[in-house]
Chains A and B, each alone.
Chain A
Amino acid sequence: MAGYKPVAIQTYPVLGEKITQDTLYWNNYKTPVQIKEFGAVSKVDFSSQPPYNYAVTASSRIHIYGRYSQEPIKTFSRFKDTAYCATFRQDGRLLVAGSEDGGVQLFDISGRFEGHTKAVHSVDFTADKYHVVSGMFDARTNQSVISVEHGQPVESVLLFPSGGLLVSAGGRYVKVWDMLKGGQLLVSLKNHHKTVTCLCLSSSGQRLLSGSLDRKVKVYSTTSYKVVHSFDYTASILSLALAHEDETIVVGMTNGILTKKDLVPRRRRPAYRTFIKGKNYMKQQDDILINRPSKKHLELYDRDLKNFRISKALDRVLEPTCSIKTPEVTVSIIKELNRRGVLANALAGRDEKEISRVLNFLIRNLSQPRFAPVLINAAEIIIDIYLPVIGQSPVVDKKFLVLQGLVEKEIDYQRELLETLGMMDMLFATMTRKESTSVLQHNTSDEFLENNKIES
């Protein structure tokens, strides 16, 4: 007994927008939480130690926030003037911050004020605003080890964890320098149309993030240096930080708003077997695992088709829930009906409301090239069936008029495309002789076709 084979739903990829691992990964954040600060947020820095608090520098204050609350845990407001660049030390116990008046202050995270000291590690790159040459200082020798020329005022500098690569942002450029080769310029990226203000590295070190005044954060792959994803924000971005394991993205903007996005926690349920046999169960050598055959579930339209209720099947896929969300299912069913030779029967015998639903679907999807061949057929069949009773319902007549307008536009558009194809053929023909021969054939056929059409 041959089983019923469900209708294969063809999926058509949309050209241009590719869904990669990266887009999936970076889209996997919750809706942002906004926190209002007292001024433009110039720096956000995450502690590298649990509980992964982060310090936010805005105007003359530094707030320390926890991962989950929107209230500051701690506030440092001892600055006489604008504070800059509050950064955690590696162990997360000390906080260092520069200030407009030139001093560098060191805070104990438990709240005790330490007083003026020298910086313990080289954080305050951005403490003074205009480096034309960004300097790298060795903390032990206090001498400039290397200096590279960025070309624009440097807004932000980032050292790779290995210490071999340095990334600098300034103007509209992000530049990557090889430190081990003595400061050779490796890559220069220009993907923003306004000044790049901040840089950040993802936890794996595989992705580089840059924020810019053009309100975008772009994610680059550090192997290919291509943009793999980009985020949009509402205002110009001044600062950006990623939490441990990329769990949170915090972005500070010029309008004093701090935006925080949390990663949706990925939680896998334990398998069914775990519940039955326990967590530590291992398969014995002579055990044979028998998978129970999974039950096949037929879709409702498949069930209808199986029982030859063709009109009903078509009705089902023309329901707005299906026809709007997954037009490809509807189209596949129409195609299947056509293959069986019963499309006319399925389409026939409909009242005004139903036929206008079919026509609506046609109007919405006829212009899509992936559906066009099937739907044009369907349209012709509808016309043939309903020609005798045309003119009885003004609603349907109006739908036909809209359809006609659409088809007319599509024809105009395709005529334009044909002309453009001609142009491109010419271009390709001038390229090389080899390619030109093959392409010319296309050309002739196309032109022939066009001429024919015009004549007819």
Chain B
Amino acid sequence: MAAGGGGVADPLSPAGVPCAFSPQSQAYFALASTDGHLRVWETANNRLHQEYVPSAHLSGTCTCLAWAPARLQAKEGPQRKKRKSEAIGTSNQADLLALGTAVGSILLYSTVKGELHSKLISGGHDNRVNCIQWHQDNGCLYSCSDDKHIVEWNTQTCKVKCKWKGDNSSVSSLCISPDGKMLLSAGRTIKLWVLETKEVYRHFTGHATPVSSLTFTTIRPPNESQPFDGITGLYFLSGAVHDRLLNVWQVRSENKEKNAVMSFTVTDEPVFIDLTLSENKEEPVKLAVVCKDGQVHLFEHILNGYCKKPLTSNCTIQIATPGKGKKSTPKPIPILAAGFCSDKMSLLLVYGNWFQPTIERVALNSKEPHMCLIRDISNCWAPKVETAITKVRTPVMNSEAKVLVPGIPGHHAAVRPAPPQTKEVESKRKLGEKEVSIEERLGALDIATKKEKDDLPQTNSFPVLLTQGLESNDFEILNKVLQTRNLNLIKRTVLRMPLHAVIPLLQELTKRLQGHPNSAILMVQWLKCVLTVHASYLSTLPDLVPQLGTLYQLMESRVKTFQKLSHLHGKLILLITQVTASEKTKETTCPAQKAKLVYEEGKDLGHAFLAYCFHQDNWDEDEDEKASEKDEDVDEENEEEEGDDEDKDEENGEDRDVASEKELNGDSDLDPENESEEE
């Protein structure tokens, strides 16, 4: 239970722990957790493929990582073949992984070899590396850092090719254009660079906070009439820290447009974004955004020009634990990352905690606006034994080989995960706390109330909610509180509510007592509770009678109809029993009647006929009545009389109402009347 819930408030899952799917087939998922370990998971069977701890993992944690593109590796294949024979046959496998660290170095890790390939240090960054991007074709690597510079690396020689100042403040994100000739960088503003000359081509401004993610969303411009120069007309996407909006920008030929073309709203700060590129005009861009609150939002939109309103998601995916029994309520499991599979119709979800994420392939159903998957992760919650192997080497994998790692299903080790390096967490937090936004403050408030609720289920927070609702006269809050059916809860709430809220509560109840009996009966329960619990307080009030006068009058006027209602109720009961009885007899009496007739027929035919006639007469009369009633002017005396009688009775009744003080007399009058009417 504790382990299952721990994932939610896990201190180790702040936004932006670097992780990535391997390109092309998404066979692997690389994740650099805050304790300095790099883990590579197989997405197909959710197994740990490799684990690697850089030698300097304590001083320089991994801040970002990027898989090398597959095309590049295919090119590199023969080179490595000379050195190591084992690389044969894995040329199409994702191999190189670039890791940026907090101290400014960049490590290239080879997953095939399971060891460090090379280090890029000399002449590079002297501060935290924020983002790394591989060039698609020429094997170059681009990195940006807190030291305001962007560096172009040659990965073959491990040397700096070029280094230039990217912004006045730290450069937080990079992205290379689809044709490989342009580079987007984001610091305070988003800049588009020409890679050959390293000149700024365009500026974009719009985010208040550092941009955390940048991606191109199209590879062809929407209108194909104009000649395509590789960049004009393309759309790209940007997300920022503390921002719940993803902005979409368009590179235009004229330099006028400075605002975002459109934006997507999500529920929290985005931490992981994946999308399917749209290759033609008609195909919508599919976008999966993982938020800090652990939800995935899916968007599907055809990018065609300006859209003022922020777009909301087509589909939201959440994962929760199954609520077993009474004690454990379903708890959300945070989703860590999501990636589209190559067929664009299913999604790889990574969820759970950072030590042992679960990877699952989920088919997309675009029709449903909200999906909640229920998964039990408690048994695959992986405690990590401290003496575990720090490096798992699986150079050649054959299908029969089984990798034994702690925490795969079936291994239920009871050891709790070792508390991670708190030092680093703290340092990270400090960075985050530099600027406390209002949103964070609000978030903190929310957390506080949540905790309160968890500790003492409901009874403690109900009085608080009630007083809040009464003070601000908030309809929703009051509804939530007052519409409980739990008598015990009502009693405890009334008991714990502050005294000054009693009179406002009574006034609120007065308003609500006039409604439908379904809801009003709940309000009476509240009223009774208040009167019994706070009787002594109420009796000390000097102006009690004027305060409760309206309430009293209201109730009195309502109960005036009690007698008549009871009377009506009696009639209705009789009517309904008749209906049910007649339904029963309908089924049974038909053959019985026949039998009777047959019996009498033998004795005297005329008598039977008479009886039959009588029967029919009755029926005719009924029908006559009906027919006459349908006419506007009714002449039948019987009916008139009946109606008159009724009216007189009613008038009597009304008189009684008016003379409410003489109710005693009314009582005595009514009884004989009742009898007469029931006749």
Contacts and interface: CB of A to CB of B under 8 A. Distances in A.
Contact of B646 (A381, A391, A403, A427): A381
B96 to A, nearest CB: 38
Contacts of B601: none
A185 B203 CA distance: 53
B575 A383 contact: yes
Nearest to B562: A414
Given A213-B442, A391-B578, A424-B552, A369 B558 contact: yes
B532 A344 contact: no
A420 B531 contact: yes
A421 B545 contact: no
Contacts of A418: 559, 562
Question: Considering residues A190, A381, A391, which has the most beta carbons from chain B within 10 angstroms of its beta carbon?
Answer: A391
A435 B542 CA distance: 12
Interface stretch (A32-40, A131-139, A163-171, A283-291): A32-40
B469 interface: yes
Interface stretch (A90-98, A110-118, A264-272, A448-456): A448-456
A193 B517 contact: no
Interface of B: 205-209, 243-245, 263, 308-310, 437-439, 442, 467-469, 471-474, 477, 507, 510-511, 514, 516-518, 520-521, 524-525, 527-528, 531-532, 535, 538-539, 544-545, 548, 550-552, 554-569, 571-573, 575-576, 578-579, 582-583, 586, 622, 625-626, 628-632, 634, 639-640, 642-644, 646-647, 650, 653-654, 657, 661, 663-664, 667
A420 B527 contact: yes
Given A341-B643, A414-B558, A427 B208 contact: no
Nearest to A371: B561
A285 B629 CA distance: 64
B539 A427 contact: yes
A373 B532 contact: no
A319 interface: no
Interface of A: 14-17, 34, 36, 38-40, 58-61, 77, 82, 172, 190-193, 212-214, 216, 218, 227, 230, 236, 238, 254-256, 309-312, 338, 341-345, 348-350, 367-369, 372-373, 376-377, 379-381, 383-384, 387-391, 397, 400-401, 403-404, 406-421, 423-424, 427-428, 430-431, 435, 442, 445-446, 448-449, 452-453
Given A16-B511, A344-B646, A414 B559 contact: yes
Contact of A15 (B517, B538, B554, B625): B554
B654 A373 contact: yes
A155 to B, nearest CB: 11
Contacts of A345: 634, 639-640, 643
Nearest to A448: B664
Nearest to A34: B309
A412 B517 CA distance: 9
B632 A452 contact: no
A420 to B, nearest CB: 6
A14 B554 CA distance: 11
A254 B439 contact: yes
B634 to A, nearest CB: 5
Contacts, number: 249
Contacts of A342: 643
Contact of A349 (B576, B631, B650, B657): B631
Contact of A384 (B564, B576, B646): B646
Contacts of B539: 427, 430-431
Given A419-B528, A449-B663, A428 B545 contact: yes
Contact of B575 (A387, A413, A449): A387
18 contacts: A15-B510, A36-B263, A39-B208, A212-B472, A344-B642, A349-B628, A372-B561, A373-B561, A383-B572, A391-B582, A400-B572, A403-B572, A404-B576, A423-B528, A427-B535, A431-B545, A449-B667, A453-B563
Contact of A348 (B563, B578, B634): B634
Nearest to B477: A193
B491 to A, nearest CB: 15
Nearest to B473: A230
Contacts of B579: 390-391, 397, 400
Nearest to A335: B654
Given A191-B471, A214-B472, A369-B557, A401 B576 contact: yes
B631 A389 contact: no
A192 B565 contact: no
A193 B438 contact: no
A441 B622 CA distance: 51
Contacts of B626: 349, 389
Nearest to B524: A416
- 10 A-B pairs closest in CB distance: A349-B629, A59-B208, A344-B643, A193-B468, A16-B511, A391-B582, A348-B629, A413-B517, A404-B572, A349-B630
A311 B650 contact: no
B309 to A, nearest CB: 7
Given A349-B631, A376-B568, A417-B558, 20 more contacts: A15-B514, A77-B205, A193-B471, A193-B472, A214-B468, A238-B438, A373-B653, A376-B561, A381-B646, A390-B582, A409-B517, A413-B521, A414-B565, A415-B562, A416-B528, A428-B548, A431-B545, A442-B556, A448-B663, A452-B667
